[in-house]
Amino acid sequence: MKLSKLYVLPLASVIVLIGILFVKTPTAQSSDCHQASYALNNSKAADDIVHTDVIEEGQVFVVQTRSKGVKIIEAGKVMTTTKSFLVTIKDEKGKIIRVFQGLGRGSDLIATAKMSKAEAVQLLESGGVDCRRN
């Protein structure tokens, strides 16, 4: 009889401990998943600008695409990125010069940057950037 009571107490404490851990463990809410699909499927949310880059005097935008490689865009003044990764480059009057759908993996646009024109030309002439540098 004493032997069975010896096993019941640790077993009960383990069950209580597991129950407490399950209660305290955070779970994913369906609303978390809804926010991402909302931004992609809702045209108003997809147009929300999440990042704006404005170049200064002597700077240019550099874009790298899968289809055309690296290009310098000198006429651009403002680059905006929306929640749906629509990248738009406008001139100083607000006229749209270039539009890219998507950014990164699986899309045509790979990367964007702003830098001085001399740096951009040097980058193109040297053949690119060594990504292994710190």
Going residue by residue through the chain, which has 134 residues, state the pLDDT in tens, using 9 for 90 and above.
555 666 777 777 778 777 776 666 555 554 444 444 554 555 565 578 888 889 888 899 988 888 888 888 988 899 988 887 888 899 989 899 988 887 666 778 888 889 999 888 888 887 765 444 43
Question: Residue 78 domain-assigned?
Answer: yes
Predicted confidence at residue 33, as pLDDT, reads: 47
Q: For residue 36, which of 85, 108, 81 has the smallest C-alpha distance?
A: 85
Question: Residue 26 domain-assigned?
Answer: no
Question: Residue 75 domain-assigned?
Answer: yes
Domain total for the chain? Answer: 1
What tokens were used for 80? 């905006």
* Model confidence, pTM: 0.58
Question: Residue 89 domain-assigned?
Answer: yes
Question: Residue 69 domain-assigned?
Answer: yes
Question: Residue 131 domain-assigned?
Answer: no
Question: Residue 84 domain-assigned?
Answer: yes
Question: Residue 82 domain-assigned?
Answer: yes
Residue type, 96: I
Rounded-to-integer distance, Cα 121 and Cα 134, Å? 21
Q: For residue 43, which of 84, 5, 14, 12 has the smallest C-alpha distance?
A: 84
Rounded-to-integer distance, Cα 126 and Cα 94, Å? 33
Predicted confidence at residue 31, as pLDDT, reads: 46
Predicted confidence at residue 126, as pLDDT, reads: 79
- Expressed as residue numbers, the domain containing 85 is 49-126
Length of the chain: 134
